[in-house]
Structure 1
Amino acid sequence: MNLSMMNSARRRAVLRDYRLDHPLSEEELVERLIDTELRLRRLEALASAKNHPINGPRRHHSCEAI
């Protein structure tokens, strides 16, 4: 459901919950944009078939080596 379909009380509540009920400064907008881009990159990495752990690809150890 988009905001135009909500009643005014619900719309205000949603905007308040997302801290959008007041005008944001340019600095706040930039911070949110950067945060959103970082989250998107993390999600893309998780969805990617090329995703590897931070420490590199996992190495399979046999039980005998331990």
Structure 2
Amino acid sequence: MIFIITSLVAFILFLAGMTWMVIWMYVSGRPAVVTSLPEVTTDVVALGVAMVIAVVALIRYLKKPDKGR
């Protein structure tokens, strides 16, 4: 149980970091990967959806009864 919770929390933090990096690269004007606003929007929406799914999975897992373990 602790492994699944830790994995989900780490995945959520990873997605949050990736979202921050994509936005920061666009705002700072670095020509690395992010070159246009539609690309940033697509990336941020995809990362946001993945983050919401991971948070919902974490909440559902925490609400599930432990079944005597």
- Pick the TM interval, shorter chain: 0.3 to 0.5
Structure number with greater Rg is: 1
TM-score in terms of structure 1 length: 0.42
Query: RCO (CA 8 Å, sep 6+): is it higher in 1 or 2?
Result: 2
Higher helix share: 2
